[in-house]
Amino acid sequence: MQNLQIDPQRLWDSLMATARIGATPKCGICRLTLTDLDRQVRDWFKTRCEALGCAVAVDEVGNMFARRPGKNPALAPIAMGSHLDTQPTGGKFDGALGVLAALEAMRTLHDLGYETNAPIEIVNWTNEEGARFAPAMLAFGVFAGVFTAEYAYSRMDRDGKTFGEELDRIGYRGEQRPGARRFAAMFELHIEQGPILEDEGRMIGIVRGVQGMRWYEVTITGQEAHTGATPMALRKNALIGAAAMLARIDAIAREHPPHAVGTVGLIENKPNSRNVIPGEVFFTVDFRHPDAKVLDVMEEQLRVGLAEILRPLQLTYHETRIWDSPPVNFATDLIDCVRIGAEKAGFTSRDMISGAGHDAAYIARVAPTTMIFVPCAGGISHNEAESTSFDECAAGAQVLLNAVLEFDRRLG
């Protein structure tokens, strides 16, 4: 196999160029799904892919596909990619590295005139983060048959705007039916979003799977009343109940070491006035574990906790599980291709399970899939301080290209 080398500086320049689209004062990115900034970065990506002669297609939920032909058009394409949307206070590399490293790999093939056996595709998945439209990984969930397109269109942000309306507004509702495309394989490069690789001084994470995760929404209802005129014994303070539940949720996760995690990341207090007793609190719950049976136990503990804590406080509540992403094991032959790709490039590596959710968790339902991790400073992600070095980005892109070419060789 020809030893093709990516251009590290070109990759870095692309990362920094897209980082200016939605740049924040703290050197991060706020580029939420289906905003004008999302449209801008999509247009940037489309233009660069078409400059390589790639055919760019968009499906009905906004997923983008840029295809380069191979020697054998009868073969399903080998896909690589990730997402370009971010958290409200996101960093420069989460998601973007996977898309832009794939673009760099494609540019390398183009520059050297290298012809693969199978077509090669870059994918930009819509709404991976779920920061604006819950749940996360929404559009690929439609692609994989987990959700319907109608369900995706109906999802509403906190301002009352729907996914479908915003998709039309930015002009990225395509004509292709989600899931109509088929992949021979899918490789996703991503920052680790955790501290393990950095702590061990290893360059590449060979990802064997993704832990299971469940999201819940809880609304607690009490009674609004005047803070000065209502005695403590007669109050129905929804925020007191929510505060106790936050502590209980943290305790539930700590009961299942070492893998369980539990988080309340979004909370809204109403009416949020300094001299009104809170009458309603809305919050989210995020539970994760690699074993679905443990998640079942954690879910039951959540529901027991709601009843035990809130009823004595004379509070009512409504709880809904809005998302269930089961644990995923990736394809062993693709994992082997990544291992060979890392060895060929001369990088240290280790096997690992992803603690974060990724589109690859859904693609694994419909195509062979795996992931590649590179370190991020301090394991910090979903944060404007997120940082990954020039050399780490280059290493990930090189292993991505090597792994794709190894798999393509096997198809030939």
In a domain, 149, yes or no: yes
Please tell me the predicted confidence (pLDDT) of residue 2: 53
Please tell me the predicted confidence (pLDDT) of residue 355: 79
Are 205 and 315 in the same domain?
no
CA distance 330 to 325: 14
Name residue 293's amino acid: K
Domain C-terminal end among 294, 325, 356: 325
Q: Write down the H helix ranges in 52-148.
A: 96-112, 138-143
Are 160 and 231 in the same domain?
no
Please tell me the predicted confidence (pLDDT) of residue 1: 45
Are 28 and 118 in the same domain?
yes
Are 183 and 223 in the same domain?
no
Range of the domain at 308: 212-325
Are 147 and 253 in the same domain?
no
Q: With a cut of 70, which residues of the chain have pLDDT below it? A: 1-2
CA distance 151 to 143: 12
DSSP string, 215-234: EEEEEEE---EETTTS-GGG
CA distance 191 to 105: 17
Please tell me the predicted confidence (pLDDT) of residue 98: 98
In a domain, 3, yes or no: no
In a domain, 2, yes or no: no
The total of structural domains in the chain comes to: 2
Are 101 and 235 in the same domain?
no
- Cβ pair 128, 361 in contact under 8 A: no
Are 203 and 227 in the same domain?
no
Q: Which helix (H) or strand (E) holds 398?
A: helix 390-411
CA distance 408 to 119: 9
CA distance 311 to 45: 52
Domain C-terminal end among 325, 344, 378: 325
Q: What is the dihedral of CA 247, 94, 377, 189, to 10 degrees?
A: 120
Are 290 and 331 in the same domain?
no
Radius of gyration of the chain (CA): 23
Domain C-terminal end among 290, 325, 360: 325
In a domain, 94, yes or no: yes
Which CATH number goes with the domain that contains 307? 3.30.70.360
CA distance 136 to 131: 7
Are 165 and 304 in the same domain?
no
Q: What is the dihedral of CA 381, 387, 389, 390, to 10 degrees?
A: 100
pTM higher than 0.85 = no
Query: Where are any strands of DSSP class E within 101-163?
Result: 120-125
CA distance 173 to 62: 5
Q: Which backbone phi and psi does 364 adopt, to 5 degrees?
A: -60, -15
In a domain, 22, yes or no: yes
Are 50 and 78 in the same domain?
yes
Are 289 and 195 in the same domain?
no
Q: Which backbone phi and psi does 335 adopt, to 5 degrees?
A: -60, -40
In a domain, 1, yes or no: no
In a domain, 159, yes or no: yes
Please tell me the predicted confidence (pLDDT) of residue 3: 79
Please tell me the predicted confidence (pLDDT) of residue 358: 80
- Cβ pair 268, 282 in contact under 8 A: yes
Are 247 and 165 in the same domain?
no
- Cβ pair 210, 292 in contact under 8 A: no
In a domain, 17, yes or no: yes
Closest alpha carbon to 388 in 153, 145, 159, 95: 95
Distance set, CA 10 to CA 30, 33, 67, 110, 194 (Å): 23, 26, 20, 14, 26
Please tell me the predicted confidence (pLDDT) of residue 391: 98
Which CATH number goes with the domain that contains 123? 3.40.630.10
